[in-house]
Structure 1
Amino acid sequence: MRFIFVHGTGVRRERFDDLFRWIRGGLDERFPDADVVPCYWGDIFGSSLSAGGASIPGVATTRGADDPGETEAAEWVLLLTDPFCELRVLAALGSVDDGLGMPGVQSVGERVADSIRKVPRDLSSDSFDADELTVLLQDTNVIEGYSAALDALMDSDEFRDACVAAHDDFAAAELTTAASRAIVALLLSGAGESVVCTGDERDRMVDLLSSRIGGTARGPVLRASGVLVKLGLRWAPQSVLDRKRGEFTSAGASAVGDILRYQARGGPLRDHLAELIGQSPEPPVVIGHSLGGIALVDALALAAVRQQPLSVRLLVTVGSQAPFLHELGALAGLPPGATLPPGFPRWLNIYDRRDVLSYLAGPVFPGDPRVSDHEVHSRQPFPISHSAYWKLGAVYDRIGEALQ
C-alpha cells in the first residue's frame, strides 16, 4: 500500500526529515508493507526573501539610542502600557510633607486636583464650544473616552499620592503635565485600533489639557520622565525593535510566506501533486498536514471538476485549514459554497481542538458520506499541538480504521 505525505507551511528539509521519520515509523508499525513516499516541496514551491529582507525597515540600518524620536517613543511605550506610571514616580520623588501647611489653605496638589475636577466633561454639549481640543479629540477618534479618562485619573491612587507629594509650584507644574499625559495615554490605549493619531497631535492634546487644567503649554521636563525613559529604552528601543523585527520577519518568512505564495501562485505545487499521484502504481493514500492538506484538497477538487479525477484511495488531512478556507470562499479548487464534486475521494479530516489551525470538514459539507472528522488529543497547547499529531498513535489507528 502506498502512502504519500505532503508537509505543511514553513517546513524545510531538516524539519521535514524529522517529521517524515515519525510518520514513516507510525505507518510501518500498522502497515508492514507500506510504501511511504515523501513529498517535500519547501525548497521548490516554498517562499523565500529574494532580496535578502531588504523590504524590512531597520534591517539594513538602525538608529542609536540618542535619537530624540526613540527617547520619546520609549516614554510613550510605557505610558500606553501603564498610563499612571509617571504619577507613581512623581509620588515617590516628592518631598516629605513638613506638616507646616497653613490651616484652611489649599495645597498645591489639591489645587491641581480641583482644577481637573472643574474641567467640563461633556464636550458634545451644545452649550460648550467646539474648541481646538474638542476638534482634536474628534479627529483622532478618542473623544468618546474623554470623560471616563478624566474620572479614571481622579479616582486613581497614583494621582492622589502624587497630589499629596506636591508641595511647591514646580511640583504642581510637574503634576499638571503628568496628569495631562496620563489622560492622553488613557485615551489612546482605551480607543485601541480605532485611534488615528500622530505624535504631533498627541503632544498638542497634552498641551491643551495642561492649559485647561491651569498649567503652561508643554510644561516642565518631568523628573519622572528622566527615570522612566531609561527603563523604556532598555525595554523597547527602536534599534532593538528593528533588529527583532528583522529576526522575526526572516524567521517567519517561510511560515507565512508559504501560505501567501500558495494563495497567489499555488498552481505549480498542485500540478506537482497531481503528477506524483498519477505516477503511483496503485491508488495511494495521500496525507496532507496543514497547507499540504489545502493543496491536496484543491488539486483533487480541480481534477474532479475537470472530469479527470485523480485515483486516490483515501485523502487524509491533519491539522488543516481547508474547510475554513472553503467557508471563506478562498479555496482554489472549489467555488464559494460549492459541494464536493463527483470523483472526489473519501476524506478523513483529523483535528485537535487545541490546535487553532485545525478545522472541521463535516459541517462544511453536510450530508456528504465521503467526509468524516476525527478528533485526537495531544494535550499540548498551540503551537506545539500543530505538530504533535505525528507522535499520536490515535492518528495512525484512525487511518487504519478508514482503510479497512
Structure 2
Amino acid sequence: MRFIFVHGTGVRRERYDELFRWVRRGLEERFQDAEVVPFYWGDTFGSSLDAGGASIPGTATTRGTEDPEEADAAEWLLLLTDPLCELRVLAALGATDDGLAMPGLQSAGERVADDLRKLPRDLSFGSHDDDELTRLLQDTGLLNGYADALDELADSDEFRDAYAVVQDDVSAAELITAVSRAVVALLLAGAGEAVVCTGDERDRMVDLLSGRIGGTARGALLRASGVLLKLGQRLTPQSVLDRKRGEATSAGASAVGDILRYQARGGPLRDHLTQLIAASLEPPVVIGHSLGGIALVDALALAAIRQEPLSVRLLVTVGSQAPFLHELGALAGLPPGATLPPNFPQWLNIYDRRDLLSYLAAPVFPGDPRVTDHEVRSRQPFPVSHSAYWKLGAVYDRIGEALR
C-alpha cells in the first residue's frame, strides 16, 4: 500500500527527515506492505525573510484559558514560559513554615541539592542506550540539552531559595517533583517547536528524574500546583512573545510565511503534488500535516472540478487549517461556500483541541458522508501539540480503521 506524506509549515529538510521517520515507523508497524513516499517542499516552495526581518515591530494581545480540562496543559504552559516558576512558589510557601533546622545536620533540602549535583551529565546515546531516560531524551530530540538544563537549574537562585526552606521529608518530596518538572520544562522550552514529545513522554521523564534524585513515582502533590493552575487559566506565553516579538517572529517566520506564500503562489507546489499522485501505480493514501493538508485538499478539489480527478484511496489531513480557510472563503481549491465536488475522495481529518492550528472539517461540509473528523489527545499545550501527532498510536490506528 502506497502512502504519500506531505509536511506542513515551517518545516525544512532536517526537521522533515525526523518527522518522516516517525510517520514511516507508525505506518510500517500497522501495514506490512506499506510504501511510504516523502513529499518535501520546504526548500523549493517555502518562504524566507529576504530583508532579515526588518518589517517586525512589537505588540500583541493576550487570551485566557477556559476549558476545565486544561489544568494539566495550563500548568505546563506556564512552565514552558517560565520553567523555574514552581520553585519560586515553593520558596515563598516554605518561608512561612515554622520548621526549624537542626544545627550541624544536613537539611532535607541540602540532600536534594547534593543528589541533583551528583547526577551524571553525560547521557550520550550509545553508551547508555539501554537506559529508559536516555532513550526518551533521544526520541524527543532533547538529549543534547540535558546537561545544560541540569546545570542551569542547579546554579539558579530559584533552586537555592527553594531548597533552603526545605527541612523535612514531605517538603523534600515536593521539591524533588518541582525540580524534575523544571528540568523537563527547561528542555522543552529550549527546544521549542523542534521537539516531538507527547504528554505521556513528558510525564515519564519527570518520573524518571524524580527517581534519580530520590523521589518515588510522580512525587508529592505540589502545593504550588494550585497557584500555577490559577495563573495558567489567566495567562498565555503571549506576554513573553510581546517582549521578544522580533526574536520570536524571526524564528517562526517560515511557519507563517509558508502559509502566506502558498496562498499567493501555491500553484507550483500543487502541480508537483498532482504529478506525484498521478504517477502512482496504485491509488495512494495521501497524508498532509498542517499546510500539507491544505495543499492536498486544494489539489484534489481542483482536479475534480476540472473533471480530471486524481485516483486517491484516502485523504488524511492532520492538524490542518483547510476547513478553516474554506469557512473564510480563502481555500484556493473551492469557491467560497462550495460543497466538495464529485469524485473527491474519502477524507479523514484528525485534530487535537490543544492544537490551535487544527480545525474540524465535517461541520464545514454538513451531510457529506465522505468527511469524517477524529480527535486525538497528545496532552501537550500549543505549540508542542502541533507536532506530537506523529508519535500517537491513535493517529495510525484511525487511519487503519478508515482504510478497512
- TM-score, length basis structure 1: 0.53
1:254 aligns with 2:289: no
The equivalent residue for 1:367 is 367
The equivalent residue for 2:281 is 281
Q: Distance between the aligned counterparts of 1:309 and 1:393, measured in 2?
A: 31
- Partner AA of 1:32 in structure 2: Q
Does structure 2 conserve the Cα–Cα contact (< 8 Å) formed by 1:57 and 1:242? no
Q: How far is the alpha carbon of 1:50 from its aligned partner?
A: 2.3
Q: Distance between the aligned counterparts of 1:388 and 1:282, measured in 2?
A: 30
**What is the aligned-residue identity percentage?**
88
The equivalent residue for 1:388 is 388
Give unmatched runs, 5+ long, in structure 1: 59-240
Q: Distance between the aligned counterparts of 2:320 and 2:299, measured in 1?
A: 15
Q: Distance between the aligned counterparts of 2:353 and 2:243, measured in 1?
A: 35
The equivalent residue for 1:27 is 27
Q: How far is the alpha carbon of 1:35 from its aligned partner?
A: 0.5
Q: Distance between the aligned counterparts of 2:355 and 2:57, measured in 1?
A: 32
1:398 aligns with 2:391: no
The equivalent residue for 1:376 is 376
Could you say what the CA RMSD is over the residues aligned between the two structures, in angstroms?
2.0
The equivalent residue for 1:50 is 50
- Partner AA of 2:292 in structure 1: G
Q: Distance between the aligned counterparts of 1:29 and 1:242, measured in 2?
A: 43
Q: Distance between the aligned counterparts of 1:48 and 1:355, measured in 2?
A: 24
Q: How far is the alpha carbon of 1:33 from its aligned partner?
A: 1.2
Q: How far is the alpha carbon of 1:52 from its aligned partner?
A: 3.3
- Partner AA of 2:46 in structure 1: G
Q: Distance between the aligned counterparts of 1:311 and 1:394, measured in 2?
A: 26
Q: Distance between the aligned counterparts of 2:56 and 2:25, measured in 1?
A: 41
Matches within 5 A, 1:191-206: none
* Corresponding residue pairs, total: 223
- Partner AA of 2:367 in structure 1: G
- Partner AA of 1:335 in structure 2: P
1:15 aligns with 2:53: no
Q: Distance between the aligned counterparts of 2:29 and 2:57, measured in 1?
A: 50
User: Cα deviation per residue 1:22-60 (whole Å; 9 max; x = unaligned)?
Assistant: 0000000001211000111000000012233344579xx
Q: How far is the alpha carbon of 1:272 from its aligned partner?
A: 1.0
SS of 2:303's equivalent in the other structure is helix
User: Cα deviation per residue 1:250-292 (whole Å; 9 max; x = unaligned)?
Assistant: 2121011001101111111111110110111111000000110
Q: How far is the alpha carbon of 1:355 from its aligned partner?
A: 1.1
User: Cα deviation per residue 1:301-353 (whole Å; 9 max; x = unaligned)?
Assistant: 00100100111110000011111111110100001110000110000001111
- Partner AA of 2:330 in structure 1: A
Q: Distance between the aligned counterparts of 1:395 and 1:336, measured in 2?
A: 30
Q: Distance between the aligned counterparts of 1:294 and 1:10, measured in 2?
A: 14
Q: How far is the alpha carbon of 1:249 from its aligned partner?
A: 2.8
SS of 1:281's equivalent in the other structure is coil
Does structure 2 conserve the Cα–Cα contact (< 8 Å) formed by 1:291 and 1:321? yes
Matches within 5 A, 1:59-70: none
Q: Distance between the aligned counterparts of 2:50 and 2:273, measured in 1?
A: 25
Give unmatched runs, 5+ long, in structure 2: 59-240
- Bigger radius of gyration among the two: 1
The equivalent residue for 1:322 is 322
Q: Could you say if the C-alpha distance between residues 57 and 370 of structure 1 is closer, same or farther in structure 2, counting changes exceeding 3 Å?
A: closer
SS of 2:252's equivalent in the other structure is helix
1:348 aligns with 2:335: no
Q: How far is the alpha carbon of 1:383 from its aligned partner?
A: 1.1
1:37 aligns with 2:2: no
Q: Distance between the aligned counterparts of 1:313 and 1:345, measured in 2?
A: 7
Does structure 2 conserve the Cα–Cα contact (< 8 Å) formed by 1:46 and 1:258? yes
- TM-score, length basis structure 2: 0.53
SS of 2:276's equivalent in the other structure is helix
Q: How far is the alpha carbon of 1:242 from its aligned partner?
A: 12
Q: How far is the alpha carbon of 1:294 from its aligned partner?
A: 0.5
- Partner AA of 2:41 in structure 1: W
Q: Any runs of at least 4 consecutive aligned residues in structure 1 with deviations exceeding 3 A, and if so which? A: 51-58, 241-246
SS of 1:400's equivalent in the other structure is helix
The equivalent residue for 2:127 is none
SS of 1:334's equivalent in the other structure is coil
User: Cα deviation per residue 1:138-190 (whole Å; 9 max; x = unaligned)?
Assistant: xxxxxxxxxxxxxxxxxxxxxxxxxxxxxxxxxxxxxxxxxxxxxxxxxxxxx
- Partner AA of 2:320 in structure 1: S
Does structure 2 conserve the Cα–Cα contact (< 8 Å) formed by 1:288 and 1:316? yes
Q: Distance between the aligned counterparts of 2:398 and 2:371, measured in 1?
A: 14
- Partner AA of 1:348 in structure 2: L
1:333 aligns with 2:333: yes
Does structure 2 conserve the Cα–Cα contact (< 8 Å) formed by 1:362 and 1:372? yes
